[in-house]
Amino acid sequence: MIYQVLGDFQPRWTYHSALMHMTEAIFIEIMRQLNEAVTAATVIVAVSLLMYNLTRGLRDRVTRSSAVLLGCVTVIYIGDVFVSLTRTNGSMESWLRLEWIGLAFAPTALFHLSDALLSTTGLISRGRRRRIVRILYLYSTIFLIAATFTDLIVHNLIATPIVMMQAGPLFPIYAAFFVVATGFAFNNVLRARRRCLTTATHRRMTYLLFALITPAIGIFPFSLFFDQPTGSNSAAIWTVINLGNIGIILMLIFMAYPLAFFGPNKPDRVIKAELLSFMLRGPVLGVVVLLVILWVPRLQVVGFPAAELTPFFAVAAVLCLQWSYAYILPFLERRLIYTDDQQEAKEIRTLSERLLTTADAHQLLETLLASVCDYLRVPSAFVASFNPSGIHLEQRVGSLQPASGMLDTIDIPALASNAQQANENTNSDSPSRMPVLVSWQSFWIVPLFSTRGNGHSGQMNGLMGMWARSPQPDLEPEEQAVFDLLYDRMAHIIDDMQLQQEVFAGLEAVIQETAQVRRVPEPLSRGYVPKLNQLTQSLAEPNADSLAKDADFVDAVKQALREYWGGPRLTDERLLKLRIVTEAMKENENNAGKAVRAVLSKAIERLKPAGARNLTATEWTLYNILDMRFVQGRKVRDVVMQLAMSEADLYRKQNIAIQRVADEIAGMERMTTAPSTELSTQNS
């Protein structure tokens, strides 16, 4: 009876056992494929964050050290990707050994980053921690050589069921090195967190405290401590590996947020917006496309070969994500970035969208002038604006145009008076709302008045002209109605151009001031007292030897040249601290503006070549640009025509000329301070 029961049970037990083995095999295959995707995704995220660090510049120590750490993670996971793609044992072993570039330097990079974070809190290394960093890099190099070219760290490749190598005799020493370096790195970040006094810096350092430990745990080769897994526990091993890799991705993204605030002198909202946009359009987009490429070929799509549809699915994924970002980004920015100043952010965005650039305004003027020519059947038309230096031709259509000097002969007050008198004589029942056309030379011209507040009764700020089709204006009522509409739009554009120039002039000063506020030196932002004392002394007494290399000083010279004949930036504080300016004030009635102008004039004259002036000679180019652009105050177009060069070439050489003026002023300052320095040396 017992044998009969066992005999009936055995087939069913064999069936369930086979089903369990098949399920486990399917699960392991899914985990293996998932590991390929997650490993490649880790590479994409690590490389993206590394590139993001490089675009922000490597002048900041935290940025440099975090770039080294991201480079280590990238090398390790690139090796894993190629191991999964390789089929020969020799290639697998080569890639596994190549991963030791990252494994050897990762603990040192962690300690280096932690030391840089500790320095940002004001605890600058006096040399001991810096020497430790150099020693750790030396040890990492030794471990790299031992793991790559010898069997002292790793040896004996095992390819199934999981690709791995066995530990060599010196692997415990490397493990101890990894643990000690990571432990001290954790301690450094913990010390930095304790030194943070504000809520924001304390919170960000807390993020980094946990984010830095995850890469250390995720990249350490724990498998070298154990024997090769058998089929019974390989499923659990693959599950743990995938969970660890997913954790690495999340922690890399989590670590990028607090690290983004180190280095750039930008408001927090700008840094958050840049990072959010980069993460969505970089790593997220790359990972989604990667998943499409890896998984779509393994699907069956309504009788079509899925591999051939993969490019279309990849393109569709890119387009769908980009389309969705247009709706998702504003929502995320409101929730994550502009939490307190949403209205101001909306107004700034609206302002940037609605402002007209000079090219936009010229394009609109060209369209309106073309409409005037087409509708009134005239071959040419033009529009000009008034500015302090005279009449400036803004846009023209057609070949019959007034000569460049003819516009300067227009008697503007007489034109305004005639237009006003003609309006008074015009029938009050006339539907026209604009000044009447006046004959001038071969054109009909009409003044353009400001539209701010009082319709067309404001200040005259320009004029429009068209080729005269008859000795006197003879517009029909229908033509007059259309011309009124075009005139009104043209007057608005000219008025908006001048208004925006005024706004930009004010915004330029605001931007310069806010740039100075945001350009916080590292000692001020980190609170390091000895450096603060040195910084205070250097600001109080500018060093003549380093003036020409100071970007702020060169910018101050540039702004002073732009306002050569008067303006707030002519008396910049950086220039007023110069001794040559102080001495020049004695000769200029203690007038700061005249003193700075005298110094600038002297510096420009020092650049003047010997001999008669020449507009085409190369040695006269810089002087001619300085004299025409700033001393004479000519427009760019006039200077370009006089010197026979392009606008791009003019701006490039103008920057060189401004730098030369700054060099001359620095040399003059050096000569002024030299006697006092020698006298103080003799007295001492």
The model's pLDDT over 80-119, given as tens digits with 9 standing for 90+, comes to: 888 877 778 888 888 888 989 989 999 999 999 888 888 8
> Could you count the other beta carbons within 10 Å of the beta carbon of residue 469?
13
Kindly state whether residue 338 falls inside one of the protein's structural domains.
Answer: no
Q: Which residues have C-beta within 8 Å of that of residue 110, sequence separation ≥ 6?
A: 69, 181, 182, 185, 212, 215, 216
Q: Are 249 and 77 in contact (CB under 8 A)?
A: no
Residue 5 confidence (pLDDT) above 50: no
Kindly state whether residue 377 falls inside one of the protein's structural domains.
Answer: yes
Question: How many angstroms separate the CA atoms of 415 and 404, rounded?
Answer: 19
| Residue 395's CATH number | 3.30.450.40
* Same domain? 174 vs 234: yes
Q: Which helix (H) or strand (E) holds 448?
A: strand 443-449
**Torsion, CA 592, CA 597, CA 603, CA 607, rounded to 10:** 180
Q: How many domains does the chain have?
A: 3
Kindly state whether residue 660 falls inside one of the protein's structural domains.
Answer: yes
Question: How many angstroms separate the CA atoms of 496 and 356, rounded?
Answer: 8
> Could you count the other beta carbons within 10 Å of the beta carbon of residue 451?
19
Burial 191-214 (b: 16+ CB within 10 A, else e): ebbebbeeeebeebbeebbebbbb
Predicted pLDDT at 677:
45
* Same domain? 471 vs 606: no
* Same domain? 365 vs 436: yes
> Could you count the other beta carbons within 10 Å of the beta carbon of residue 618?
8
Q: Which of 233, 265, 297 is the last residue of a domain?
A: 265
pLDDT range class, residue 511, cuts 50, 70, 90: low
Gyration radius (Cα) of the chain, Å:
37
Residue with tokens 């995220």, as numbered in its chain: 45
Closest to 415 in 3D by CA, of 439, 397, 399: 439
pLDDT tens for each residue of 492-507? 888 888 777 666 665 5
Q: Which residues have C-beta within 8 Å of that of residue 188, sequence separation ≥ 6?
A: 111, 114, 115, 117, 118
Average pLDDT, the chain: 76
Kindly state whether residue 295 falls inside one of the protein's structural domains.
Answer: no
Q: Which of 486, 502, 518 is the last residue of a domain?
A: 502
* Same domain? 25 vs 170: yes
Predicted pLDDT at 510:
55
Residue 652 confidence (pLDDT) above 70: yes
**Beta-carbon-side half-sphere exposure of residue 551 (alpha carbons within 13 Å):** 4
User: Can the peptide bond before residue 530 be classed as cis, meaning omega within 30 degrees of 0?
Assistant: no
* Same domain? 160 vs 30: yes
* Same domain? 409 vs 537: no
Q: Which residues have C-beta within 8 Å of that of residue 369, sequence separation ≥ 6?
A: 381, 382, 383, 395, 396, 397, 490
* Same domain? 417 vs 546: no
* Same domain? 261 vs 384: no
Predicted pLDDT at 284:
87
* Same domain? 232 vs 125: yes
Q: Which residue would you say has higher pLDDT here, 281 or 532?
A: 281
Kindly state whether residue 284 falls inside one of the protein's structural domains.
Answer: no
Predicted pLDDT at 682:
42
* Same domain? 171 vs 53: yes
Q: Which domain holds residue 480?
A: 358-424+432-502
Kindly state whether residue 307 falls inside one of the protein's structural domains.
Answer: no
| Residue 209's CATH number | 1.20.1070.10
Question: How many angstroms separate the CA atoms of 164 and 237, rounded?
Answer: 12
pLDDT range class, residue 680, cuts 50, 70, 90: very low
Predicted pLDDT at 431:
42
Kindly state whether residue 272 falls inside one of the protein's structural domains.
Answer: no
Kindly state whether residue 281 falls inside one of the protein's structural domains.
Answer: no
Predicted pLDDT at 140:
93
Identity of the amino acid at 272? K
Q: Are 273 and 80 in contact (CB under 8 A)?
A: no
Task: Classify residue 354 as left (phi > 0), alpha (psi -120 to 50) or beta.
Answer: alpha
* Same domain? 568 vs 420: no
Predicted pLDDT at 141:
94
Q: Which two tokens stand for residue 441?
A: 């030379």
* Same domain? 585 vs 457: no
pLDDT tens for each residue of 660-669? 888 888 888 8
